[in-house]
């Protein structure tokens, strides 16, 4: 009889773990408190608009291909993805507009035309970024390294100290390559992928531009939520039992082992192992009632930032926008300092702006625009909470900033508006203090490492998702699910 694994939470990490375990022959049951799978990969459909509530960028598609390949399937048979030629369009209030393209030569030529001398700087930076990715990928990503000690013992000293960028911050190294502040701001903001500060994150996090440049930037046709639908179809084919609207309230345990879960309804379900897609700190607090001394050991895994998420349906279009756009703060260092060091709302935020109708007109009625706005903001502060009116004021400032870069009269064109605050995100997904990106990447607090995938307290309890290694983002949590399943299989046999 197959051993049974219960997965708590149907985010992409939990779904990946479920598929990876089922592909190895385990009996898998997945519980989620919400009414659909996908976790933060969610969708809102209203008045002909389809808004991606969570992730809006797909990178590293080969990691999803690996997931489907575990059971002999092909990603392309379940999910239709298309590459984007223009990766990012970057707007500054002084009128500067800079594009990043799929083709590095085209990007270099464009930057050189806009900022003389920057083409060569960009080419050198891309080579540096590629090296950082290759070093991190071959062991940390592929071997699923989990601890500071395993990280340092797995890499040779020459590689670790002379090739991997561990002594500088991300901003330090970006500033070594680029002399123009616009470009420093652009490449510092690749840290958006993990919701951290370029002034606190270690230099090797500059691998992220190569993740985008080397492997492409992709869109899931019909909306990003179709990735969740595709994996859900695969789970059904593999015989995975998915139980929605069923909140897990407790993970049962005996001494150093877990024995199953208890639902909010009081139902008990036994298991040979449990995989938690609830973030590590909330899981230990809510599901395991871990004692204070143990919880204090987890403080280095501070939440990454949250976001103010605005979805706007417009009765017009703004043709100057690309699919993915960024509108930069006039003082991005101050912006990072407010959000990540002082934990205050930004006064002049950098804004991520998604206009998916540039690639997929089905996401809005004809002649309309579907915009998602995301300024990074601090996670929930329980002792000094931000009021809802303060969040609304920031939303108005965000729209003001769009006006400042040329989206004239945008307010009078809004016909659908939806807003999520960190409080909403925390309530919906039980993310740690409303974090969007799991654990912050900070070289002093955690060296950008996250919590381990296997519990240090229970022999058969595992974790998956943005709060554990290798961290946040759709491909990383998908990879995490695969590595977590490997770890469980080694233990269960």
CATH of the domain at 482: 3.50.50.60
Residues 195 and 311 in one domain: yes
Q: How large is the average pLDDT for residues 113-129? A: 98
pLDDT of residue 275: 98
Contact 207, 129 (CB under 8 A): yes
As a whole number of angstroms, the distance between CA 63 and CA 469 comes to 15
pLDDT digits (tens, 9 = 90+) for 353-409: 999 999 999 999 999 999 999 999 999 999 999 999 999 999 999 999 999 999 999
As a whole number of angstroms, the distance between CA 421 and CA 464 comes to 24
Is 65 a member of any domain? yes
Residues 130 and 210 in one domain: yes
Is 434 a member of any domain? no
User: Is the confidence at residue 218, as pLDDT, over 90?
Assistant: yes
What confidence tier does 254 reach under pLDDT thresholds 50, 70, 90?
Answer: very high
pLDDT of residue 148: 86
Q: What is the dihedral of CA 475, 481, 487, 490, to 10 degrees?
A: -110
CATH of the domain at 354: 3.90.660
Is 71 a member of any domain? yes
Residues 200 and 92 in one domain: yes
Residues 267 and 308 in one domain: no
pLDDT digits (tens, 9 = 90+) for 169-181: 999 999 999 999 9
pLDDT of residue 366: 96
Residues 154 and 197 in one domain: yes
Residues 208 and 227 in one domain: no
Residue 25, class by beta-carbon neighbours within 10 Å (0-12 exposed, 13-18 middle, 19+ buried)?
A: exposed
As a whole number of angstroms, the distance between CA 254 and CA 65 comes to 38
Q: What are 29's two structure tokens?
A: 């049951």
What confidence tier does 470 reach under pLDDT thresholds 50, 70, 90?
Answer: very high
Contact 119, 106 (CB under 8 A): no
Is 438 a member of any domain? no
Residues 319 and 203 in one domain: yes
As a whole number of angstroms, the distance between CA 289 and CA 379 comes to 22
Q: How large is the average pLDDT for residues 239-260? A: 98
Is 437 a member of any domain? no
Q: What are 282's two structure tokens?
A: 């909330």
Residues 235 and 354 in one domain: no
User: Is the confidence at residue 186, as pLDDT, over 90?
Assistant: yes
Residues 190 and 103 in one domain: yes
pLDDT of residue 157: 83
Q: How large is the average pLDDT for residues 266-288? A: 98
User: Is the confidence at residue 336, as pLDDT, over 90?
Assistant: yes
Is 469 a member of any domain? yes
pLDDT of residue 110: 98
Is 440 a member of any domain? no
Q: Which domain holds residue 344?
A: 85-216+303-429
pLDDT digits (tens, 9 = 90+) for 34-89: 999 999 999 999 999 999 999 999 999 999 999 999 999 999 999 999 999 999 99
Number of separate domains in the chain: 2
Is 436 a member of any domain? no
Contact 484, 26 (CB under 8 A): no
User: Is the confidence at residue 156, as pLDDT, over 90?
Assistant: no
To the nearest whole number, what is the mean pLDDT of the chain? 97
pLDDT of residue 403: 96
DSSP assignment of 105-154 equals: HHHHHHHHHHSTTHHHHHHHHHHHHHHHHHHHIIIIITTT--SHHHHHHH
Residues 66 and 168 in one domain: no
DSSP assignment of 353-412 equals: EE-GGGT-GGGS-TT-EEEEEEEEEPPP-SSSPPPHHHHHHHHHHHHHHHHHTT-TTGGG
What percentage of the chain has pLDDT greater than the value 90?
Answer: 97
Residues 209 and 195 in one domain: yes
User: Is the confidence at residue 160, as pLDDT, over 90?
Assistant: no
Residues 272 and 288 in one domain: yes
Residue 266, class by beta-carbon neighbours within 10 Å (0-12 exposed, 13-18 middle, 19+ buried)?
A: exposed
């Amino acid at each position: 009889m197959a051993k049974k694994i219960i997965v708590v939470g149907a985010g992409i990490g939990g779904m990946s773990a479920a598929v990876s375990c089922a592909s190895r022959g385990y009996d898998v049951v997945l519980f989620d408190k919400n009414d659909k799978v996908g976790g933060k990969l969610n969708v809102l459909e209203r008045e002909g608009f389809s808004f991606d509530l969570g992730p809006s960028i797909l990178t590293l598609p080969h990691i999803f291909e690996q997931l489907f390949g575990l059971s002999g399937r092909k990603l392309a048979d379940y999910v239709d993805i298309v590459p984007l030629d223009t990766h990012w369009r970057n707007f500054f209030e002084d009128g500067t507009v800079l594009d990043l393209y799929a083709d590095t030569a085209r990007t270099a030529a464009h930057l050189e035309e806009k900022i003389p001398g920057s083409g060569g700087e960009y080419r050198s930076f891309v080579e540096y970024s590629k090296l950082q990715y290759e070093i991190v990928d071959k062991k940390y990503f592929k071997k699923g390294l989990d601890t500071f000690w395993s990280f340092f013992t797995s890499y040779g000293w020459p590689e670790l100290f002379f090739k991997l960028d561990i002594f500088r911050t991300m901003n330090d190294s970006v500033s070594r390559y680029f002399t123009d502040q616009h470009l420093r701001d652009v490449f510092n903001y690749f840290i958006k992928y993990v919701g951290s500060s370029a002034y606190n994150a270690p230099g090797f996090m500059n691998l992220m531009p190569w993740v985008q440049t080397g492997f492409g930037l992709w869109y899931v046709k019909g909306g990003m939520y179709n990735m969740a639908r595709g994996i859900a179809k695969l789970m059904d084919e593999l015989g995975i039992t998915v139980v929605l609207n069923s909140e897990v309230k407790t993970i049962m345990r005996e001494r150093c082992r877990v024995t199953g879960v208890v639902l909010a309804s009081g139902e008990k379900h036994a298991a040979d192992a449990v995989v938690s897609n609830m973030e590590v700190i909330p899981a230990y607090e809510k599901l395991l009632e871990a004692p204070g001394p143990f919880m204090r050991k987890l403080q280095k895994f501070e939440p990454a930032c949250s976001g103010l998420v605005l979805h706007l349906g417009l009765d017009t279009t703004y043709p100057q926008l690309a699919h993915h756009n960024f509108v930069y703060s006039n003082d991005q260092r101050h912006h990072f300092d407010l959000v990540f060091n002082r934990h205050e709302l930004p006064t002049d935020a950098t804004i991520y702006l998604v206009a998916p109708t540039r690639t997929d007109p089905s996401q809005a009625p004809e002649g309309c625009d579907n915009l998602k706005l995301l300024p990074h903001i601090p996670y929930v502060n329980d002792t000094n909470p931000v009021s809802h009116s303060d969040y609304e004021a920031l939303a108005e400032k965000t729209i003001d900033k769009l006006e400042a870069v040329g989206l004239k009269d945008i307010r009078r064109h809004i016909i659908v508006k939806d807003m999520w605050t960190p409080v909403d995100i925390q309530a919906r997904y039980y993310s740690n203090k409303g974090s969007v990106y799991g654990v912050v990447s900070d070289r002093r607090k955690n060296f950008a490492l996250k919590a381990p995938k296997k519990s240090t307290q229970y022999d058969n309890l595992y974790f998956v998702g943005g709060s554990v290694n290798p961290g946040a983002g759709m491909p990383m949590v998908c990879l995490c699910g695969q590595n977590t399943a490997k770890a469980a299989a080694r233990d269960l046999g």
